[in-house]
Amino acid sequence: MNKKTEQTIPQPIYRHDYRQPDYWIDKVELAVDLHDDVTIVRSILQIRRNKDTASEGQPLVLNGEKLTLKEIALNGQPLPESAYQVDREALIIFSVPDHFELSTVVAIKPHENTELVGLYQSNGNYCTQCEAESFRRITYFLDRPDVMATYSTTISADKARYPVLLSNGNRVATGELENNRHWVRWEDPFRKPSYLFALVAGQLVCHHGTFKTMSGREIRLEIWVEPQNIDKCEHALLSLQKAMQWDEQTFGLEYDLDVYMIVAVNDFNMGAMENKGLNVFNSKFVLCRPDTATDDDYEDIEAVIAHEYFHNWTGNRVTCRDWFQLTLKEGLTVYRDQRFTADMTDFALKRIRDVKKLRTLQFAEDQGPMAHPIRPESYIEMNNFYTITVYEKGAEVVRLYETLLGKEGFAKGLARYFEKHDGQAVTCDDFRVAMAEANQIDLTPLDRWYSQAGTPVCEVRGRYDAEQMTYTLQVTQSRAPTPAVQPAFMPCLIPIRVSLFDPKGQALPLQLADENVPIGEERLLSLSETQQQFIFVNIPQEPVLSFLRGFSAPVQVKMQRPREHLAFLMAHDNDSFNRWDAGQILAQELLLNLAQDWAAGRELKLDPLFIQSFGKILTDSRLNPSLKAMAMMLPDEKFLGQQIEPIDVDALYEARSFMTRVLARTFRRELLALYQQYHSTSPYSNSRSAIDARRLKNTVLRHFLTALQDEEVIALIGQQFQHADNMTDMQAALSCLMELEIPEREQALQQFYGRWQHDPLVLDKWFALQASSSLPKTLDRVLSLASHPDFNLRNPNRVRSLIWTFCSLNQVRFHSADGRAYKFLAELVLELDRLNPQLASRLVGAFNQWRRFDKLRRNLMESQLNTIIAQPNLSTDVYEIVSRSLNYR
Do 201 and 155 touch, CB atoms closer than 8 A?
yes
Non-local (6+) Cβ contacts of 707 within 8 A are 657, 660, 661, 664
Question: Pairing mode, if any, of strands 470-479 and 425-426?
Answer: unpaired
What kind and span of H or E run contains 14? Answer: strand 13-14
User: What is the structure's pLDDT at 5?
Assistant: 45
User: What is the structure's pLDDT at 389?
Assistant: 98
Neighbours of 561 (CB within 10 A): 19
Residue 889 binned pLDDT confidence (cut-offs 50, 70, 90): low
The pLDDT tens digits for 793-852 are: 999 999 999 999 999 999 999 999 999 999 999 999 999 999 999 999 999 999 999 999
pLDDT for 581 beyond 70: yes
Question: Which residue in 817, 820, 830 sits closest to 867, CA to CA?
Answer: 830
Q: What is the mean pLDDT of residues 156-184?
A: 97
Q: What is the mean pLDDT of residues 250-263?
A: 98
Compute the distance between CA of residue 762 and CA of residue 770 in angstroms, rounded to an integer: 13
- Residues with active-site annotation: 308
Classify 528 in phi/psi space as left (phi over 0), alpha (psi -120 to 50) or beta: alpha
pLDDT for 384 beyond 80: yes
For residue 720, the SS3 value is: helix
Backbone angles phi, psi at 401, to 5 degrees: -60, -45
Compute the distance between CA of residue 843 and CA of residue 847 in angstroms, rounded to an integer: 8
Compute the distance between CA of residue 311 and CA of residue 80 in angstroms, rounded to an integer: 43
User: What is the structure's pLDDT at 841?
Assistant: 98
Cα–Cα distance list, 281 to 204, 225, 481, 518, 600 (Å): 14, 10, 38, 51, 50
Question: Pairing mode, if any, of strands 125-129 and 118-122?
Answer: antiparallel
Neighbours of 530 (CB within 10 A): 12
pTM summary value: 0.97
The pLDDT tens digits for 22-68 are: 999 999 999 999 999 999 999 999 999 999 998 888 999 999 999 99
Q: Directed axis angle between helix 608-619 and helix 563-572, to 10°?
A: 0
Question: Which residue in 304, 197, 310, 320 sits closest to 255, CA to CA?
Answer: 310
Q: What is the mean pLDDT of residues 406-427?
A: 98
Q: Directed axis angle between helix 876-887 and helix 820-833, to 10°?
A: 140
Q: What is the mean pLDDT of residues 375-387?
A: 95
What does the angle CA 427 – CA 432 – CA 433 come to, to the nearest 5 degrees? 95
Question: Which residue in 732, 804, 722 sits closest to 361, CA to CA?
Answer: 804
Compute the distance between CA of residue 396 and CA of residue 550 in angstroms, rounded to an integer: 12
Do 827 and 298 touch, CB atoms closer than 8 A?
no
End-to-end distance of the chain based on CA atoms, in angstroms? 29
For residue 49, the SS3 value is: strand
The percent helix, strand, coil of the chain (3-state, each to 5) is 45, 20, 35
The pLDDT tens digits for 63-90 are: 999 999 999 999 999 999 999 999 999 9
The pLDDT tens digits for 102-123 are: 999 999 999 999 999 999 999 9
Q: What is the mean pLDDT of residues 128-144?
A: 98
Q: What is the mean pLDDT of residues 522-536?
A: 97
Cis peptide before 445 (omega within 30 of 0): no
Cα–Cα distance list, 128 to 216, 507, 767 (Å): 33, 55, 27
As beta bridge partners, residue 146 has none
As beta bridge partners, residue 444 has none
Do 211 and 255 touch, CB atoms closer than 8 A?
yes
- Walk me through the domains of the chain, giving residue ranges and CATH numbers: 24-203 (2.60.40.1730), 321-451 (1.10.390.10), 456-491+493-559 (2.60.40.1840), 757-889 (1.25.50.10)
Q: Directed axis angle between helix 347-357 and helix 326-344, to 10°?
A: 140
Amino acid at 770: Q
User: What is the structure's pLDDT at 485?
Assistant: 66
pLDDT for 3 beyond 60: no
Compute the distance between CA of residue 778 and CA of residue 791 in angstroms, rounded to an integer: 17
Residue 557 binned pLDDT confidence (cut-offs 50, 70, 90): very high
